[in-house]
Structure 1
Amino acid sequence: MNATKTLLQGRQPMIRFLGKRTMPAKVDHTPHPHPASPTNNLPESFASYRQKAQQHGPLNQQHGFSSGGIGATPGGSLGPIEAGKGNFFDRSELPKRFQRLTWTQAEIEAVESGGASLYQ
């Protein structure tokens, strides 16, 4: 009943480790810039970083949430809502060749039946 023990008795692992495992005596945990950083330096503080950071627009705008809550300024003052040249908000605004194709009745029935209607 102990077939597994019998099979594993002569097993030799394929991986071999060289030497004893050792941990380094000292590890440097001081912050440093990422090797691919374009500036190769860290920001002076989080506040100075936040002044220059962008996430869906500048983070340092002084209207909207910080000056009295949501709705403190009209939406029109936040900027244009038209998509720029070459940008589209929805697929239906694209040229006809890029728009969604309409489904045929046969395709709808095939999806609803799980494909079984194709093999009658």
Structure 2
Amino acid sequence: MYLSIDIGGTLIKSALMDRSGQIFKKESRPISRKSIDEFDNILFQVIDYYFSTDIRGISVSCPGAVDTNTGTIYNGGAFPFQHNVNLKSKLEHRYGVEVAIENDGRCAALAELWLGSVQGKR
């Protein structure tokens, strides 16, 4: 099982899914834009909610420019306190699983290519 997280401007959405994209559990809740500490607290609550399941990895879709190799976020969009934060490292250290982070717009495009309206297109 994999945990997929989408950080939006007002909500954090999450889903527990398998490799084929089948969703087994999902939820959304408001996300704080006040400070990095409040943001992290909500993000950790979301992940902790699922972590009793055998999770092999976490994927995060977030605003801003993302260095996918390091997991560092630049210009965090609605979350300016995320600028220069290595979210990948923070989550890998806390949860001990592999983490992938990508820009939210690119994630939407990849999802459409994988299972959506442009599946099978070039």
TM-score normalised by the chain length of structure 2: 0.17
Flag the structure with larger Rg.
1
Task: For CA contacts below 8 A with separation 6 or more, give which structure has more relative contact order.
Answer: 2
Q: Could you state the TM-score of these two structures normalised by the residue count of structure 1?
A: 0.17
More strand by share: 2
